[in-house]
């Protein structure tokens, strides 16, 4: 194959032009137009997916793990709010849960990094409940807006349904 | 007598719990300020990833309830922030580097257009360096 042949050389040049434009575009896009998002995940006490507890004692403690990921293109200061609610008081992607805050966990992450930490939480229902009633353990992800120094709800949350009992089960 | 001790105990408990919450509240405020300072330094081109990691270590200790150690770790991060704030920002920033690489990549086809035939011919002649040309009738 003679690469100085007009047709062969045109093909080689076309490949080089397309790949250089694509590479330059990717580099510029990564630097200036990042797809920014934050993520929160709920893991079991061994910090693994699945095998979550499905029942708990009222005012008892449960051990779980929280996973947070930052892909916002800059360092972000996060706050995870723990609340206990019911099926009708879980948050949406625009509004947080109306239930009172029980605990707060903080984390600060660089861009493209994540953290997983254990949490020991108490199952404190916001009102008196029936034995075996289903509760939602809610974890909301908030971030600090550096412009106005106010905490803002990211619209990300995780929740775990458990049945709460007043006396220990056999 | 017993009621006096109970009263003193209760007062002490209130003082301790109030000071604990004040300390915790102050700690969060300090972290918020440190985060904003780190973000500003990051925007002018400083690499603040180590400071952010130190701040995260402080927050992990805080989450575990160890406010004293958390506060000490936060102080280390604050000192590092002050040191960076007092120094000059780097001349080359990330987007300068990215733009330079992108421009180089865009110039690569022009370079290839002229250099590929030259390189090919150079290689062609080198590979045939030991060839002997013979004329035959």
Query: What CATH number is attached to the domain comprising A68?
Result: 2.60.40.10
Within an 8 Å CB–CB cutoff, is residue B100 touching chain A? Answer: no
From the list B53, B106, B117, the residue facing A24 with the nearest CB is B106
In a domain, A149, yes or no: yes
Average pLDDT over residues B73-82: 95
Range of the domain at A2: 1-33
Q: Residue A84 — pLDDT band, cuts 50, 70, 90?
A: very high
A86 and A147 together in one domain: yes
Q: Given a cut of 60, is residue B19 above it in pLDDT?
A: no
A43 and A22 together in one domain: no
Over pLDDT 70: what percentage of chain A? 96
A3 and A51 together in one domain: no
Q: How many contacts, defined by CB atoms under 8 Å, are there between A and B? A: 87
A68 and A100 together in one domain: yes
Q: Given a cut of 70, is residue B83 above it in pLDDT?
A: yes
- Does residue B123 or residue B25 have the better pLDDT? B123
Range of the domain at B74: 2-91
Split into its structural domains, chain B has a count of 1
In a domain, A130, yes or no: yes
In a domain, B125, yes or no: no
Work out the minimum CA distance from A116 to partner chain B, whole angstroms. 10
In a domain, A67, yes or no: yes
A4 and A26 together in one domain: yes
Report the distance separating Cα A156 and Cα A75, nearest Å: 18
Instruction: Please report the pLDDT score of residue A31 as a whole number.
Output: 67
From the list B42, B56, B98, the residue facing A31 with the nearest CB is B98
From the list A4, A16, A30, the residue facing B112 with the nearest CB is A16
Residues of B in contact with A17 (CB under 8 A): 109
A67 and A142 together in one domain: yes
A83 and A107 together in one domain: yes
A17 and A56 together in one domain: no
Average pLDDT over residues A138-157: 95
- B35, closest residue in chain A (CA to CA): A77
In a domain, B133, yes or no: no
A77 and A136 together in one domain: yes
Cα dist from A82 to A130, B48, B65, B92, whole Å: 22, 29, 16, 42
Q: Given a cut of 80, is residue B14 above it in pLDDT?
A: no
In a domain, A170, yes or no: no
Instruction: Please report the pLDDT score of residue A153 as a whole number.
Output: 96
In a domain, B18, yes or no: yes
From the list A13, A30, A105, the residue facing B113 with the nearest CB is A13
| Partner-chain contact B35 A20, CB within 8 Å | no
In a domain, A107, yes or no: yes
Residues of A in contact with B27 (CB under 8 A): none
Write down the pTM of the prediction.
0.75
Report the distance separating Cα A97 and Cα A156, nearest Å: 11
Report the distance separating Cα B61 and Cα B52, nearest Å: 14
A141 and A100 together in one domain: yes
Q: Given a cut of 80, is residue B23 above it in pLDDT?
A: no
Report the distance separating Cα A4 and Cα B123, nearest Å: 12
Within an 8 Å CB–CB cutoff, is residue B105 touching chain A? Answer: yes
Instruction: Please report the pLDDT score of residue B13 as a whole number.
Output: 61
In a domain, B28, yes or no: yes
pLDDT in tens, A40-67: 999 999 999 988 999 899 989 999 999 9
Q: Residue A6 — pLDDT band, cuts 50, 70, 90?
A: confident
CB-based contact A80:A140 (threshold 8 Å): yes
- A144, closest residue in chain B (CA to CA): B32
Residue among B136, B53, B42 nearest B94 (CA): B42
A61 and A100 together in one domain: yes
Residues of B in contact with A28 (CB under 8 A): 98-99, 102
Instruction: Please report the pLDDT score of residue A42 as a whole number.
Output: 95
- To test the contact with chain B by mutation, choose from A6, A28, A75 the residue with the greatest count of B C-beta atoms within 10 A, namely A75
| Partner-chain contact B112 A13, CB within 8 Å | yes
A84 and A125 together in one domain: yes
In a domain, B65, yes or no: yes
Split into its structural domains, chain A has a count of 2
In a domain, A139, yes or no: yes
In a domain, B108, yes or no: no
**String of DSSP letters for chain B:** -HHHHHHHHHHHHHHHHHHHHHHHHHHHHHHHHHHHHHHHHHHTT---HHHHHHHHHHHHHHHTT-HHHHHHHHHHHHHHHHHHHHSPPPSS-HHHHHHHHHHHHHHHHHHHHHHHHHHHHHHHHHHTTT-------
In a domain, A18, yes or no: yes
CB-based contact B85:B42 (threshold 8 Å): no
């Amino acid at each position: 194959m003679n690469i100085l042949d007009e047709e062969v050389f045109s093909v080689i040049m076309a490949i080089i032009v397309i790949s250089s434009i694509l590479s330059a575009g990717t580099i510029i896009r990564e630097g200036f137009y990042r797809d920014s998002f934050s993520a929160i995940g709920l893991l079991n006490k061994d910090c693994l997916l699945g095998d979550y507890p499905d029942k708990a004692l009222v005012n008892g403690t449960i051990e779980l793990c929280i996973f947070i990921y930052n892909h916002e293109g800059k360092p972000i200061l996060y706050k995870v709010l723990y609340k206990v609610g019911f099926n009708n008081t879980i948050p949406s992607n625009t509004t947080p849960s109306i239930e009172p805050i029980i605990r707060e966990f903080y984390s600060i992450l660089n861009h493209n990094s994540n953290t997983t930490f254990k949490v020991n939480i108490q199952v404190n229902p916001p009102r008196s409940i029936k034995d075996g009633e289903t509760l939602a353990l809610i974890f909301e992800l908030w971030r600090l807006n550096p412009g106005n120094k106010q905490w803002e709800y990211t619209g990300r949350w995780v929740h775990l349904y458990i049945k709460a009992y007043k006396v220990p089960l056999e | 007598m017993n009621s006096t001790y109970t009263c003193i105990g209760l007062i002490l408990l209130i003082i301790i719990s109030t000071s604990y919450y004040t300390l915790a509240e102050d700690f969060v405020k300090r972290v918020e300020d440190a985060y904003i300072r780190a973000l500003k330094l990051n925007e002018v081109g400083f690499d603040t990833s180590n400071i952010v990691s130190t701040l995260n270590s402080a927050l992990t200790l805080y989450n575990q309830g160890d406010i004293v150690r958390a506060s000490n770790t936060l102080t280390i991060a604050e000192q590092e922030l002050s040191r960076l704030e007092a120094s000059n920002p780097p001349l080359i920033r990330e987007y300068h580097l990215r733009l330079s690489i992108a421009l180089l990549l865009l110039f690569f086809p022009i370079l290839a257009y002229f250099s590929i035939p030259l390189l090919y011919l150079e290689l062609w002649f080198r590979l045939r360096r030991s060839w002997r040309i013979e004329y035959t009738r």
